[in-house]
Structure 1
């Protein structure tokens, strides 16, 4: 038993005596990054009635353990780039070292977020992964890893640790998470912490608490028929709300800035329902973390032979309806024959752009063109876009591709599309009286509308159901 206790304390990365009674959650361990500018909860276990005192950066906060648990809140902290120490004192004293204060992002979703930078046969290697590994000398980037776990009951602590980014460690980091953190660090030059909690092949409802699922009347049938909802691959241990219990609840209420979310493949066959499921999950997380409507950066599903345009449309519509969200378009990052495309760098770069513009208010264009409205003319359709930056462009040969047009018969045919500032005029000699236009409407779209910031437009249709 003593050996197990000592091992647990070693995993926590803390220096404690064997008879210690105060134990912080493993999120509070050596090399951690705390969130700047907000109240910072710190919590753990102790003996009933034991006084617990936390000291950090000139603050001293105390409480008394109730029910074997304790929590204090540190007042908002400034950015801290010089390693600091935290002490937690009760009947014993724990020292947590090499702490920075910066920006903390939860990186979650399924396999394209779960994929680490290093090799993972039989998946393709990440593009230039060895070169990326060798250049990953970023001591102010750290990752906390959450093990894959479906759980029937809420887990309180996953007993993991923070890892400092270096060429020796980065191969085990989430590839997308690392590229996001690296590019964001280069843009804002403060410590970046990523909490890596992702599990391949998992639908969004599994990341949602049972209470949140049951409370939404639009999801009554999903809850009732949960075991029938998923077709095809079923991850080991799959059960309703199992990932919320096993991989999200242990993190609550750690102070975070926001979420980078790359998921949707497992909901591909239910795109309309996804328009309810994902906003419900976002609301669930925002409510349970208790930190307001923090930003959700949603990566749109990349082109692949089995991924329908309806799931991309669902993700687009979610970002249009749910506040403080952004859509990361990946039409140029896919692989028609591999659901795990190897080119992850642009995904991380665009996540960093979205965070920089939406969250950190840098004066940059952070989104690709988004259809704002459209106008049906006599023999053409005019599309008007937001996020055109300094103008739209047809990337490549200068001729727009990916547009189709239809008349009243709803038979879509390839169309000619021409850019006019922040507008695109679409027509076809085969359609004399058009009623609708679609762009990139295919499992593997061939499309090239970008803005002057070199960001691609999201696929869309004007005949939205």
Structure 2
């Protein structure tokens, strides 16, 4: 063969190799899996676990793991789904998914899977929490697995997201949810089983953004809210808003330059516009963009930290919050799985005299959700907040209070888990005798040996600070010389209440009021 004929032959061979490689890559791409299903994932023990993906329409898919085999046929859109029988706790397992090509998932474990959801206090990272240097350097837990869902706001349900399961290491934990990680670590250390944590929290999010839009539109209680959003959707022009902002920005630049020349402080830079149509308040935006691609994945339950963004509509939250939980349960098709949340912390300035509070009303709505739905629970953190920071850094104790609920209710651990809660009031003369449930080892006090945080009012609804005394393991006597005949007692009823009652295990008394007088958020929808 001469040299001149070798070049065309080499070109032909290269083309054939390239085409063959292309065909192999195409074949390998035929079976596609969502991000929630992949290497390093944790499957929920003790139950069947759905696995799903995409292939060619009509393609037969066989899934095998640990001696079991399941088959499915891709539908006309290419989607297939199987249900694995429960796997023995532990692992690691390999799962083979075979059709025209084959995919093997490696290092899969069987254990406990929890979703870590809500707004910024759940999204708050280990890196930004107390003792982050110590927590990060010791976060070597190969049997704890982490996955985070990016923030995508849309009205179109998303089948997938950009993410992957990873073992817990100092590198992977630093930017993970602090409450989620500390919660999962407590479960792991107590139960000694693999833990899977799905972080889908979105800072600043409103509860309605997490709910299926059709469900919201069908509920009369949310008619006014949905009508407002429909109007926004019809009229909002983001390009016009950006253009107006750029004009203000040019004016600011000129003013800042002038101020600098004159040796004066520059004016505050105008804040850039946020598109409400793709943001974290629009009804169903987060449901579609963040929650939807994980719905149906086998889980044990959910921990939730949200409510700040709904505080101005606290009365509405009485309906909205349990409505959201029920929506998740209905669509997950996994029964009434556990759902535990964090009550709002103390925040804003302390006030020396009784006053109305939307945060107090939101806390009340959260507490009421325990009565509205089964398998729910509330971690009270009225003593863990920071007056000047809506993001308190102590996430470890928050997580421990959530973990108490899970350990006691779901894993059979004999541990006090619920904060004391108001049960009843009896009036004797000018004194109100309050009885409480869930007192654990008995009512106790922190820091000061007199109960503080109580206010009292007569039928005139004028509250004053009250004196109080513990008169039994589950009883407190409350009074004020200014109120001859008590009609209502409140406790911790403020944005940032000054209060000190707890049980002997250190769980704070749940804030409450004995009246049902109309609150300041009653007409906000």
1:86 aligns with 2:129: no
Report what 1:8 is aligned to: none
Shift in CA distance, 234/396, structure 1 to aligned 2, threshold 3 Å: farther
Once the two structures are TM-superposed, the CA of residue 228 in structure 1 deviates from its matched residue by 7.9
Tell me what 2:214 maps to. 211
Contact 1:143 1:165 in 2 (8 A): yes
Aligned length: 441
If each structure's helix is expressed as a fraction of its own residues, which one has the higher value? 2
Task: For 1:303-322, list aligned pairs within 5 A.
Answer: 303-305=346-348, 308-322=359-373
Taking a change above 3 Å as real, the CA distance of residues 97 and 235 of structure 1, as seen in their structure-2 partners, is farther
Unmatched tracts of structure 1, length 5 or more: 1-15, 119-124
- The CA deviation string for residues 166-208 of structure 1, in whole angstroms up to 9 with x for no partner, is 1222101111111111112122221111110011111000000
Quick check: 2:150–2:162 contact (8 Å CA) kept in 1? no
The 3-state SS of whatever aligns with 1:337 is coil
SS for the counterpart of 2:515 is: coil
- Name the structure 2 match of 1:43: 52
Q: 1:415 aligns with which of 450, 455, 466?
A: 466
Structure 2 distance, partners of 1:392, 1:65, is 59
Partner of 1:73: 83
Deviation above 3 Å: which 4+ runs of structure 1?
A: 232-236
Structure 2 CA distance, aligned partners of 1:220 and 1:330?
Answer: 33
Match for residue 52 of structure 1? 61
In the other structure, the counterpart of 2:430 is: 379
Higher CA-based Rg: 2
Residue 91 of structure 1: CA displacement? 0.7
The residue that corresponds to 1:109 in the other structure is 118
2:37 pairs with 1:28: yes
Q: Distance in 1 between matches of 2:424 and 2:510?
A: 14
Structure 2 residue 512 is the aligned partner of structure 1 residue 460: yes
* Separation of aligned partners in 2, 1:202 and 1:24: 28
Q: Does 1:130 align with 2:133?
A: yes
Distance of 1:201 and 1:234 partners within structure 2: 12
Partner of 1:164: 167
- Corresponding residue for residue 388 of structure 1: 439
Q: Tell me, yes or no, if the aligned pair for 1:212 and 1:281 is still in contact at 8 Å.
A: no
Please give the root-mean-square deviation of Cα atoms over the aligned residues, in Å.
Answer: 1.8
**SS of residue matched to 2:174:** helix
Contact 1:50 1:90 in 2 (8 A): yes
Query: So what's the TM-score if we normalise by structure 2?
Result: 0.81
Whole-angstrom CA distance in 2 between matches of 1:151 and 1:346: 34
CA distance in 1, matches of 2:404, 2:484: 41
Indicate yes or no: 2:64 matched with 1:64: no
> Paired residue for 1:363?
414
CA distance in 2, matches of 1:221, 1:100: 46
From the superposition, tell whether residues 260 and 228 of structure 1 become closer, same or farther in structure 2 (CA, over 3 Å): farther
CA contact (8 A) 1:201 1:234 kept: no
TM-score computed with the length of structure 1 as normaliser: 0.92
Quick check: 301-310 or 88-97, which moved more? 301-310
Equivalent residue in structure 2 for 1:297, among 329, 340, 347: 340
| Corresponding position of 2:455 | 404
Task: Give a deviation string over 1:72-122, Cα, whole Å, max 9, x none.
Answer: 001223312x3111111111111111111111111111111111111xxxx
SS across alignment from 2:200 = strand
Matching residue of 2:521: none
Consecutive unaligned residues of structure 2, counting only runs of 5 or more, are 1-23, 233-270, 350-357, 518-525
Matches of residues 322-337 of structure 1 in structure 2 within 5 Å? 322-337=373-388
